[in-house]
C-alpha cells in the first residue's frame, strides 16, 4: 500500500526531553536530538505531512501546526487510524514500546542518535520494523547488532536555519570576522570543554595573537565549590571570554565573527550539528578524528588523530593537547597568510548549504516511510 504525502501522519516519540516544536526558537541552548525532531517535524509539516510529538510535557500544546502530547496521551494516538508510523527518537523503553505494539499495527521506527545500542534505553528491539541512522559511521558501528529484519536508512541531521541565513548572497565572509582571530568552542564538558584550557596553554607557547569565546556551562559537578573554582580559572585565563550557553540565534551571530572552531572532542559523536554549523559560518575547523567528525567535515577540517577513534562506548579518551595546539597554530597561520582563504571558505559554506539543510531530509524520510508501509 502506498501512502500519499498528504495522508501521512507521523508520531515522533521522545521519552527523555519535554518540548514543543517551537523549542529551537527559544534563547536557551539546544540539544541535538531535540533539534532534529523539531526541525524535521516542521519541514514535514510545510510539505503537507501531519506530525505529532509525544514527550514528557505536562499538557497538550500546539506550535508551528504540530501538537505535542504528554506521554500519558500516547494511547489516544495508538487508536488514531490516521497514524502512519511511530518514530522513537534517540532513546526508548522496551516495556513502553511493547505496550504500544499491542495497541497498533502501524510501523515502528527507531531514529538512532546514540553511538551504540545499550541495554537500558537503546535496545535493538524486535518490535521495530525499521531504523534510521544519522551517519554512515553510526550505521557501520552498529551493523553487528542491527536486525536483518529491519529496513534501514541513513538520513543525516542538518543545521539550524539561522546558520543557513548567516551571510547574505554575495556577502564577503572574511569582512565579517573579528581581529585578532577568534577561536570558537561550543559544547559541554564531555565533548571537549575539559580540554580547552590545557590546549590553549600549549597554544600560547606558539602563538598569542588570538581571542577565544567559550560557549559552555561552568556547572559540571555535584560540588558547587568545584564548579566555582573551574569557572574562576576559566574567566581568569588570558584571551578567553567565557560566554556560557546561549540560544542558537545568538550563537550564529557570534559564529559569524569567529575564525576557527576548535573541538578537542573525545565523545563518540554520531552526527555533529555543531561542526556542520561552524563550517557553514565560514570558520576553519580543528577537530579530532573521533567517530563521525571526519565524515561530517568531508575534508574541510584540520584533524588531530586519536587512539581507538571508532570505539562507540568510550566517552573520555585522552587528547594530545600539544598536537591539538599545533594544528590550531597552523590554522591561525593559514588565516593570516592564505590569499585564497575567502574562496576556500565560500566553497566550504556552499558544500554545507547544499548538503545539510532540513528541507533536504523530507524526501528521504517520505521514501522510507512509504517503504515501511509496504513492509
CA dihedral 145, 150, 154, 160 (to 10 degrees): -100
Determine the distance from the C-alpha atom of residue 147 to the mean position of all C-alpha atoms in its chain, rounded to a whole number: 25
Alpha helix stretches (DSSP H) within 62-192: 74-78, 94-101, 136-141, 161-164
Query: Model's pTM, two decimal places?
Result: 0.95
Per-residue CA distances from 159 to 24, 25, 35, 259, 297 (Å) = 11, 14, 9, 19, 13
pLDDT of the residue at 4: 62
Q: Are 53 and 274 spatial neighbours (Cβ–Cβ below 8 Å)?
A: no
Cell numbers given for 256: 559569524
In the block, residue with C-alpha cell 497538550: 60
Q: Are 368 and 151 spatial neighbours (Cβ–Cβ below 8 Å)?
A: yes
- Compute the C-alpha angle 359/128/137, nearest 5°: 55
Alpha helix stretches (DSSP H) within the chain: 32-46, 74-78, 94-101, 136-141, 161-164, 193-204, 224-236, 248-257, 273-280, 293-297, 321-337, 341-355, 362-373
Cell numbers given for 213: 569565546
Nearest to 349 by CA among 190, 100, 174, 88: 174
Q: How far apart are CA 251 and CA 270, in angstroms?
A: 22
Q: Are 216 and 187 spatial neighbours (Cβ–Cβ below 8 Å)?
A: yes
* The CATH fold of domain 5-158+357-373: Rossmann fold (3.40.50)
- Same CATH topology for 5-158+357-373 and 161-355? yes
The phi, psi pair for 108, rounded to 5°, reads -110, 130
pLDDT of the residue at 264: 97
Q: Compute the half-sphere exposure of residue 139: CA atoms within 13 Å on the CB side of its CA.
A: 16
Which stretches does DSSP call E strand in 4-129? 9-13, 50-55, 61-63, 66-70, 85-89, 108-111
pLDDT of the residue at 375: 56
Task: Locate the domains of the chain by residue range.
Answer: 5-158+357-373, 161-355
pLDDT of the residue at 232: 79
Q: How far apart are CA 193 and CA 212, in angstroms?
A: 13
**Length of the chain (residues):** 375
Cell numbers given for 257: 565573527
Per-residue CA distances from 257 to 114, 245, 254, 353 (Å) = 32, 17, 6, 19
Q: Compute the half-sphere exposure of residue 110: CA atoms within 13 Å on the CB side of its CA.
A: 29
In the block, residue with C-alpha cell 565560514: 282
Pairing of strands 151-154, 182-186: unpaired
The CATH homologous superfamily to which domain 161-355 belongs is Glycogen Phosphorylase B; (3.40.50.2000)
In the block, residue with C-alpha cell 560557549: 215
Cell numbers given for 110: 527507531
- pLDDT in tens for each of the 375 residues of the chain? 345 677 899 999 999 999 999 999 999 989 999 999 999 999 999 999 999 999 999 999 999 999 999 999 999 999 999 999 999 999 999 999 999 999 999 999 999 999 999 999 999 999 999 999 999 999 999 999 999 999 999 999 999 999 999 999 999 999 999 999 999 999 988 899 889 999 999 999 999 999 999 998 877 777 888 778 877 777 788 788 989 889 999 999 999 999 999 999 999 999 999 999 999 999 999 999 999 999 999 999 999 999 999 999 998 899 999 999 999 999 999 999 999 999 999 999 999 999 999 999 999 999 999 988 775
Amino acid at each position: 500500500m502506498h501512502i500519499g504525502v498528504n495522508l501521512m501522519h507521523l508520531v515522533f516519540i521522545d521519552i527523555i526531553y519535554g518540548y514543543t516544536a517551537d523549542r529551537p526558537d527559544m534563547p536557551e541552548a539546544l540539544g541535538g536530538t531535540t533539534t532534529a525532531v523539531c526541525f524535521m517535524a516542521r519541514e514535514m509539516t510545510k510539505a503537507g505531512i501531519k506530525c505529532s510529538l509525544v514527550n514528557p510535557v505536562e499538557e497538550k500544546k500546539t506550535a508551528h501546526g504540530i501538537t505535542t502530547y504528554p506521554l500519558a496521551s500516547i494511547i489516544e494516538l495508538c487508536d488514531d487510524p490516521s497514524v502512519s508510523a511511530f518514530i522513537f527518537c534517540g532513546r526508548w523503553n522496551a516495556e513502553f514500546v511493547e505496550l504500544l505494539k499491542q495497541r497498533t499495527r502501524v510501523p515502528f521506527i527507531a531514529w538512532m542518535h546514540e553511538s551504540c545500542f545499550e541495554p537500558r534505553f537503546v535496545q535493538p528491539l524486535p518490535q521495530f520494523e525499521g531504523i534510521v541512522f544519522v551517519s554512515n559511521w553510526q550505521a557501520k558501528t552498529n551493523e553487528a547488532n542491527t536486525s536483518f529484519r529491519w529496513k534501514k536508512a541513513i538520513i543525516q541531521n542538518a543545521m539550524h536555519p539561522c546558520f543557513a541565513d548567516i551571510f547574505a548572497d554575495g556577502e564577503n565572509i572574511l569582512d565579517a570576522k573579528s581581529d585578532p582571530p577568534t577561536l570558537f568552542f561550543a559544547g559541554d564538558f564531555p565533548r571537549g570543554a575539559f580540554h580547552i584550557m590545557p590546549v590553549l596553554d600549549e597554544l600560547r607557547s606558539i602563538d598569542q595573537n588570538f581571542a577565544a569565546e567559550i560557549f559552555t556551562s561552568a556547572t559540571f559537578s555535584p560540588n558547587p565549590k568545584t564548579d566555582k573554582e573551574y569557572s574562576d580559572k576559566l574567566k581568569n585565563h588570558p584571551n578567553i571570554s567565557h560566554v556560557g550557553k546561549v540560544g542558537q540565534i545568538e550563537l550564529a551571530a557570534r559564529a559569524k565573527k569567529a575564525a576557527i572552531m576548535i573541538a578537542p572532542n573525545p565523545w563518540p559523536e554520531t552526527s555533529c550539528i555543531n561542526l556542520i554549523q561552524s563550517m557553514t559560518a565560514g570558520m576553519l575547523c580543528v577537530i579530532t578524528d573521533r567517530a563521525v567528525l571526519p565524515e561530517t567535515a568531508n575534508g574541510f577540517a584540520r584533524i588531530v588523530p586519536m587512539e581507538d577513534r571508532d570505539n562507540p562506548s568510550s566517552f573520555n579518551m585522552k587528547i594530545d593537547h600539544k598536537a591539538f595546539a599545533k594544528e590550531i597554530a597552523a590554522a591561525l597561520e593559514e588565516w593570516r597568510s592564505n590569499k585564497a582563504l575567502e574562496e576556500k571558505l565560500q566553497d566550504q559554506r556552499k558544500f554545507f548549504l547544499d548538503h545539510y539543510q532540513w528541507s533536504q531530509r523530507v524526501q528521504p524520510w517520505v521514501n522510507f516511510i512509504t517503504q515501511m508501509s509496504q513492509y
